[in-house]
Amino acid sequence: MRIIYLYLFLFFATPASAQVRPPEPYGALPSERQLRWHEMDMYVLVHFTPTTFENKEWGYGDADPKIFNPTQFDARQILKAVKAGGFRGLILVAKHHDGFALWPTATSPYNISKSPWREGKGDMVKEFEQAARAEGLQFGVYCSPWDRNNPRYGTAAYVQDYRNQLRELYTRYGKLFMSWHDGANGGDGYYGGTRETRKIDRTTYYGWDSTWKMTRAMQPSASIFSDVGWDVRWVGNERGEAAETSWATYTPEPLPGKKGVGPGDVRDELNPMGTRNGEYWMPAECDVPLRKGWFFHPEENNTVKNPQQLFDLYLKSVGRGACLDIGIAPDTRGLLHENDVLALANFGQLLKNTFAVNLAKKAVMHASNIRGGQSKRYGVAELTDNDRYSYWATDDSVKTPELVMEWTSPQTIQFVRIRENIKLGQRIEALELDAWKDNGWVKVGSATSIGACRIISVTSAVSTQKLRIRVTKSPVCVALSEVGVY
């Protein structure tokens, strides 16, 4: 009897919310490093090599290192501009296809020590890394696997050179948030003076499985980006846009004759939508240069994207569950051009102003269902607590609930931001947004996927006292972590 009484006491003394089990996860789930990547929303990719001084978009590998001399180089000026734009990290192209390394590497004589910059004693990767840390931003690197300068390219010896370059980058510059790779592989180049075309089988040559095991061991928190996917996949275009329906899960399609889905085994042509119920959590990155090209060209000073263009890209990338990667390029001084700095600053201010006040925090919310009755753990208060992983959930049987927000006076609404707790997977497949007008509900927006973030542009910036979110299709109960109204 004492044991029975003890169990009864513990049961009734335990808060009701603690007795309600959480929803079961759905589908493929993100790793811890992928969660951190989603939280970044935006970062930049920096191109700066002798190619800049040649006014080319791709370097051939034959440029004299002596032309690389940015006498006014200031990493802090660049990082301050990045931070002003609202970006949370910077990926430096430590070596592009021309083969010129921006750090004093032991793997190749074609590196920064052969330039007059800092009298041959500089380390530009280190200066970028230190500036990023000083501004509170995360740091990542891109080291091109294709090397148009290295005479060993195309041989097994070069693959070892490349891995040694990655080892240097992984061990000298602190914790990295990303190791970034693309699909440019082989072709014409200088190659130590041979000036010939070298072709490789990219599915086998680099031995990516072994290379990325090294990445995992040396930089376990770094997400790996590549055009064929790994932690993060390429969205499939350089316009900076994800698909309207965007799934963070993906099932790679093997190349003809390939059985696996590892690095080098899948097609280049990725589905920008992702794969609903895909085998892997492999979200999309949307990359696009701030200017027309990835490298600085003085004739493109008037092609810098304006703040509204950048905001539209934000809605089509971050607002569809992806991350936005903007390419920036220092000029021959080693500074960001004034037009670029101004565009980034004004974009950052536009973002800040747009999302400064969450009107949902001022609303009275009513949910058609709360998991476990009125469990506080899964209640609507979790939607406005600025925590991506606390959430409103419904009972397992309730897959199409409604949430109504009501204000004491009319509110002008232009954007609604919705997030799922992606630790439980990407769940909702469709929802609709209604505004109360003329004593009835009028549809003002919709979405076909949610995930880490979905921003719905409301039709004609409606003025209303009540807003309703209706989940219209979901295979499982909902687990929404945020509703923001702006």
Taking only the tens of pLDDT, the chain with its 486 residues reads 554 444 444 344 445 445 899 999 999 999 999 999 999 999 999 999 999 999 999 999 999 999 999 999 999 999 999 999 999 999 999 999 999 999 999 999 999 999 999 999 999 999 999 999 999 999 999 999 999 999 999 999 999 999 999 999 999 999 999 999 987 889 999 999 999 999 999 888 999 889 999 999 999 999 999 876 689 999 989 999 999 999 999 998 765 555 544 444 455 455 789 999 999 999 999 999 999 999 999 999 999 999 999 999 999 999 999 999 999 999 999 999 999 999 999 999 999 999 999 999 999 999 999 999 977 899 999 999 999 999 999 999 999 999 999 999 999 999 999 999 999 999 999 999 999 999 999 999 999 999 999 999 998 889 999 999 999 999 999 999 999 999
User: Which residues, 6 or more positions from 131, have their beta carbon under 8 angstroms from its beta carbon?
Assistant: 75, 76, 78, 79
Q: Are residues 343 and 465 in the same domain?
A: no
CA distance 23 to 479: 8
CA angle 50/55/56 to nearest 5° reads 80
Q: Are residues 346 and 366 in the same domain?
A: no
| Residue 300 counted as domain residue | yes
Q: Are residues 368 and 331 in the same domain?
A: no
Amino acid at 189: G
Q: Are residues 297 and 391 in the same domain?
A: no
| Residue 24 counted as domain residue | no
Q: Are residues 284 and 331 in the same domain?
A: yes
Q: Are residues 279 and 401 in the same domain?
A: no
Give the side-chain half-sphere CA count within 13 A for 288.
Answer: 21
User: Which residues, 6 or more positions from 427, have their beta carbon under 8 angstroms from its beta carbon?
Assistant: 26, 420, 450, 474, 475, 476, 477, 478, 479
Q: What is the pTM of this model?
A: 0.93
Domain boundary among 354, 383, 399: 354
Q: Alpha-carbon dihedral of residues 30, 35, 40, 42, nearest 10 degrees?
A: 0
Quick one: pLDDT at residue 10?
39
What's the CATH number where 455 sits? 2.60.120.260
Residue 243's domain comprises: 32-354
| Residue 73 counted as domain residue | yes
Q: Are residues 343 and 401 in the same domain?
A: no
Please count the structural domains in the chain. Answer: 2
Quick one: pLDDT at residue 256?
58
| Residue 195 counted as domain residue | yes
CA distance 462 to 35: 33
CA distance 79 to 89: 9
State both tokens at 164.
């040694």
Residue closest to 326 by CA, chosen among 41, 42, 84: 42
Quick one: pLDDT at residue 376?
85
Q: Are residues 244 and 376 in the same domain?
A: no
Domain boundary among 300, 327, 354: 354
| Residue 438 counted as domain residue | yes
| Residue 1 counted as domain residue | no
Q: Are residues 275 and 234 in the same domain?
A: yes
Q: Are residues 336 and 390 in the same domain?
A: no
Quick one: pLDDT at residue 226?
86
Q: Are residues 278 and 368 in the same domain?
A: no
CA angle 262/146/289 to nearest 5° reads 90
CA distance 287 to 209: 25
Domain boundary among 308, 329, 354: 354
Q: Are residues 155 and 200 in the same domain?
A: yes
| Residue 221 counted as domain residue | yes
